[in-house]
Structures are given as C-alpha cells and as structure tokens.
Structure 1
Amino acid sequence: MTTPNPRRQLRPTDVKRLNRTWRRNTEGRLALILESVTSPFNVGSIFRTAAAFGVDTVRLAGNATPPSNPRVQKTALGTDRLVEWHEPVPVTEAVKAAKQQGFTVVAVELTADAVPLHEARLTGDVCLLVGSEDHGCSPAALEAADAVVYIPQVGRVGSFNVSVAAAIVVAETRRQEWASMDES
C-alpha cells in the first residue's frame, strides 16, 4: 500500500478546513489605516492582504483611494466586500476612531524612535498605520500613533512598496499572536 504524497496541493475543501482552523485560533482584532495611499493597485493589494489575514476594518485617511474605485477593483477582486472600510477622513480622526474602538495604533515608518518590527510587541488589538507611497506617514500621523515600527532591510533598496510593507507587518502581527498562543 502506498501512502499519499504529503506535498500534493490541497483540494479546495481541505484549504477551507485549514483556514477555518486558523480562524478559530485567531482572537486579536486587527485594523489598518491607509494614509494617502493613492495608487489603486496598492489599495487593491492591501485589501486582498487584509481579507486574507482577517483584518476587521480599514480606515482611509487623507486622499487615500477608496476600494470603490474601478481600478482598485482590478486588484482587490471583490475582497473589499469582506473587510469593513471607512471613507477618507483626516488621519488624526482615523487614529482617534481606532483608539476609541480599543486599538493600539502602530505606525510603520523610519523614525529615530522606531522599533524593529521583529522586536515590537504586536499583540492584542492592533491597528497598523501605513503612509503614502511617496512620503510615508505624515508628522500628524506619527504624533497621533501609540508606537512606531520599521521593517529592517539589508539590501540596497531603502524602502518597500506600501502594499508589500502592509503585507509584511500584517503577517508579523498575526505571527506574533499565533506564536504567543503556542507559548500558553
């Protein structure tokens, strides 16, 4: 008798079971603030990442492009229906609203007091704030945030695309939550 190949791709039913297991083991609320992220492709990609990692809400700030934009839809592929989102407001209002809902707001930016992502404590209810493609987080956003983290880079490029940076910090936030559950 032969045993099944453990490296075969999972069937859709198996994928649904696997994802359901991870969902049951995920308790922390996760949110995003997109400050002046204007590229429809970046916004769409961030929404796909948000839907995949169970982000509860995405708050748009500044002149961020909303997911209702037809060009966002080309990348989001309908995932904006799976994540609550709010029309753009000034970034300080978005941060205030997140804090009122009990989130710790963590900006992703290179600042003198920023903590490397892997050293940051990203547990509990976390709202990650990413800034525009060109200028990052505004001074007002950085002032309003509870903490600031950065993604260490060792290559010759000084920054990530905003949608890639958002995916990295969202994944690390979930990883920390799941790792803390293994410890308890």
Structure 2
Amino acid sequence: MHEPNPIDVAAKESGEPVFREVGVGPWSETHPGEPRPDDPASPNYDARFDSGLLDNGDRRNVLDRYRYWTVEAIRGDLDRQGRHGFEVAVENWTHDFNIGSMVRTANAFTARTVHIVGPHKWNRKGALMTELYQHVVNHPSIDELVRDWRSRIGAEAEEAQQRLDNAKAELAAGLIDDDEASRRMTAAQRMLENARDARIIALDIVPGAVPIETYRFPERCLMLFGAEGPGLSEKALELADDVVYISQFGSVRSINAGAAAAVSMHCWIAQHAAVRA
C-alpha cells in the first residue's frame, strides 16, 4: 500500500473548507411569524411564490431576489426586464459536453435566445437547470436556423418602421405631443437601425477571421459556436456575415468551447450592456 501524498494529509488535517450557506431554508424558519406569500388571504400574497419551495427551502442557483419564486415567474421577470440583443447558437452534431456550460453562461448574460442546431438531445449537466429560465430553440440544420434568424430580423425592421410611421402620424394628428413623439421615434429608429445592422457572427479560428479584441459587435447579432475539436461546420462558416477569433498565446490551437462562448458573450456585454449595481 502506497504512502498518502503529504499534501492530501495536510489538507485533511487543515479543517478546511467551511462553505457559506447557499440559498434559504423553509419560509417558517427564515421568516418566523410572517404570513406566507402563497396564501391568497395573506396581506403579502404574491402569485410568483412556489408553495413547495416555501415548505422545503430554496437552494437553487438563483439570485436572492428570486428566492421561493416559481420557474415561470423568474423566466417572466427576465423577459419583462428585457433580454439583451444577442443570441447564441451551437452545433450539436457531436453531442458536445460544453453545450450545458454555454446555456448557463447565456442565462447569466440574459441572451435573448439559445439555439441548438442538430439532434434535439444535448447534455444538460453543465447547465445546472438554467435552461429552465432561458429561451432555448432547436433547429434541425444551420440552413433552418439562418432562415429563421433572417425572417425574425426582417419582421423586427418592419415593426420598427411601422412604429416610426405611427408616431409621425399621431403627432401630425395632434394625438401626442412633441416630447412623446420624440421618445417613440427615437426608440423606433434605434430598433430599425439595430435590425439593419444585425449580423451572424461565427466564432472560430480560420483564415480570414478577425480578432475579437478589435471587433465591434452589433447590438443585434447571432453568435455561432461549433463543437469542441472540429469547430464550426463549413455551412455555418459559409452563412456567417463575419468570422471572429479569440487571440491565444499558448501551445494549444483553441480554448474550451464553453470558455470561448463565455469570452465572446462577455465581449458583447462589455460593449453594450449597462453596468448593474
């Protein structure tokens, strides 16, 4: 029998670690004497609360403000706040284990939608249930994904133009004042410009790609990610408007696909998202 590694022995004797408590216990313990918010007769009744979580506690990986809320309520609140203008798509031809990690990161940065291209099943372990709060759409092929994207962007442009025309018409008819007209027209014009500037961006290290460090992400965009190893398919690269790579300085050709997705999404966040306190 071999001698245990001295580091293992020292670690065991250190008394570490002591982890902080994650989440909250049952409502009766954390809010003693307070009426339950799932009781319609209660003065603090709130339909967003989940009775099972109030009974047993909430140890989920969610923000504290969402403790005890139902999945539907959390997803709805994220939609109400407004998800960001970028979407992400990942090819699932090799059943990549990184997809779960990508979904989790997309939730953290409130991507508008996550698209899974290829077989419907994907490894959800790395997502840690965050797919429940994220809009996830499946597509059988890259062609179908791109058709869907371009159709939705076209519809957004038409809606923006209609909003712009309506604001001008209501102003001319005296139905709204100058300030309200300016507010509406500014919002509609921005929506129209975002639709016109929308691009499909492939993330891969291939000839002709530009470094992400100097790339300016459009506010409305679809990022394409490939599988660990082979990268993006030829069709995905062919249909992309731009191809971007993450600069690397070590010996490996590429970084982990889940890490690449996180870096890319955060680049968009750094360029477009307001900092939240």
TM category (shorter chain) comes to: 0.7 to 0.9
C-alpha distance in structure 2 between counterparts of 1:143 and 1:51, whole Å: 28
Q: Counterpart amino acid of 1:145?
A: A
1:88 aligned partner: 139
Q: Percent identity?
A: 32
Which has the larger displacement, 106-115 or 87-96? Answer: 87-96
* 3-state secondary structure, aligned to 2:87: strand
C-alpha distance in structure 1 between counterparts of 2:244 and 2:226, whole Å: 13
2:111 aligned partner: 55
C-alpha distance in structure 2 between counterparts of 1:161 and 1:65, whole Å: 21
Please show how residues 61-140 of structure 1 align to structure 2 within 5 Å: 61-63=117-119, 65-66=121-122, 71-72=123-124, 74-102=125-153, 103-140=198-235
Query: Where in structure 1 do 4 or more consecutive aligned residues deviate above 6 Å?
Result: 23-27
* 3-state secondary structure, aligned to 2:97: helix
Is this contact kept in 2: 1:107–1:145, CA < 8 A?
A: yes
User: Following TM superposition, by how much is the alpha carbon of 1:109 offset from its aligned partner in structure 2, in angstroms?
Assistant: 1.0
Structure 2, unpaired ranges of 5+: 1-22, 24-62, 66-78, 154-197
1:159 aligned partner: 254
Structure having the higher strand fraction is: 1
Alpha-carbon deviations, 1:40-66, whole Å to 9, x = none? 631111111010000111111134743
* 3-state secondary structure, aligned to 1:41: coil
C-alpha distance in structure 2 between counterparts of 1:25 and 1:117, whole Å: 28
Is 1:36 matched with 2:92? yes
Change (3 A) 1:27 1:76: closer
Change (3 A) 1:127 1:54: same
Q: Which structure: larger Rg?
A: 2
Is this contact kept in 1: 2:96–2:228, CA < 8 A?
A: no
User: Following TM superposition, by how much is the alpha carbon of 1:25 offset from its aligned partner in structure 2, in angstroms?
Assistant: 9.8
Alpha-carbon deviations, 1:53-111, whole Å to 9, x = none? 00111111134743xxxx51x32121001111112311121122122222421000122
Aligned residues: 159
Structure 1, unpaired ranges of 5+: 1-11, 18-22
Q: Using structure 1 for the length normalisation, give the TM-score.
A: 0.75
Is 1:173 matched with 2:268? yes
Is this contact kept in 1: 2:209–2:244, CA < 8 A?
A: yes
Q: Using structure 2 for the length normalisation, give the TM-score.
A: 0.51
2:48 aligned partner: none
